[in-house]
Structure 1
Amino acid sequence: MCNINNEIIYEISEDSAAEYTMPIEEGLNDFNDLITGISDRKPLNILIKSNKTGKVIGGMQGRTSLGLLFVDLFYLPPELRRNGIGTEILRRFEDEGRKRGCSAAFLYTISFQAPDFYKKHGWVEFGRIECIPTGTSRIFMKKTL
């Protein structure tokens, strides 16, 4: 009988290089594809670029998979907030999710970030976990597309 514990090494790492993360991502994706028979995951990014430099200065990133739209990150520089740009980014993101066949969307935000922004656009809180600093929460939200 083989002792698997003699054949592996446990390592804690803060390195997010692809050589470390891709075997995990690909392994889970392969498992999901085998079980569901569906391989439809695609990244989705809505980018905001500077007119002057062409560099990305903000936007939204996420993905679609198995009929769900996931918002992973959303950032706008402070000077671009409160003038409709965020609303337009979110609208385009959701529209692309619908085009890809998604029926629902999911995200989490932090209580000091933008939960009211999402609520204003039809997102509904379905969970909350307290975190630090004291009085702060991770807020999980969903939206039917």
Structure 2
Amino acid sequence: MQPLVVLAEEPQEADHEAILAALLAYNDAAGGPSGYQEVAVLVRHPETGATIGGLWGRIIYDWLFVELLVVPAEFRGAGLGTQLMQTAEAKARASGCVGVWLDTFAFQAPDFYRRLGYQQFGVLPDHPKGRSRFFFMKRLGGAA
């Protein structure tokens, strides 16, 4: 009997969790314990406490991958993005990570990451068409 391959029109969080669990089980069996953990550094509204921005990532195999980073427009230019990244880097160091890696579009923040000491290690041209997506990394001093 063959499994079904289905393109989900409205993927559910449970689908994501099932795929992630299977991948982590495989990785841990094949490559040793991955140390997978999610990392969230949140920006909360000063009056309501609602999450209005922040950083979301995951630690796996001694590196922190920053998946999402957003500073609300009204708070940009005041060092909040730097604070988010420094907090995530401190968490990565405390977790024994070797470094941090991430990607960003040309119209987002490549120069911001360069100023923070990140080095470009790749580029995906025409993503989106006519623009580029950049991949950055930073090795962390003091990591185990």
Task: Give the structure-1-normalised TM-score.
Answer: 0.90
Q: Do structure 1's residue 95 and structure 2's residue 90 form an aligned pair?
A: yes
Kindly provide the amino acid, as one letter, of the partner of residue 85 in structure 1: L
Of residues 22, 25, 38 in structure 2, which corresponds to 1:27? 22
Partner of 1:76: 71
Secondary structure of the residue aligned to 2:43 is: strand
Of residues 11, 22, 43 in structure 1, which corresponds to 2:38? 43
Q: Deviations over 1:23-69 (max 9, x none)?
A: 21111100111123314111000001011111001000001111101
Partner of 2:58: 63
Secondary structure of the residue aligned to 2:8 is: coil
Gaps of 5+ in 2: none
Q: Do structure 1's residue 11 and structure 2's residue 6 form an aligned pair?
A: yes
Contact 2:36 2:60 in 1 (8 A): yes
Q: CA-atom RMSD, angstroms?
A: 1.3
Q: Do structure 1's residue 121 and structure 2's residue 116 form an aligned pair?
A: yes
> Following TM superposition, where does structure 1 have runs of at least 4 consecutive aligned residues deviating by more than 4 angstroms?
none
Task: Give the structure-2-normalised TM-score.
Answer: 0.91
Task: Provide the rounded CA distance (Å) in 2 between the counterparts of 1:87 and 1:108.
Answer: 16
Gaps of 5+ in 1: none
Change (3 A) 1:54 1:24: same
Task: Provide the rounded CA distance (Å) in 2 between the counterparts of 1:106 and 1:14.
Answer: 30
Task: Provide the rounded CA distance (Å) in 2 between the counterparts of 1:70 and 1:132.
Answer: 20
Q: What is the number of equivalent residue pairs in this alignment?
A: 140
Task: Report % sequence identity.
Answer: 34
Q: Deviations over 1:50-108 (max 9, x none)?
A: 11111001000001111101100001111111111111111001110000000111100
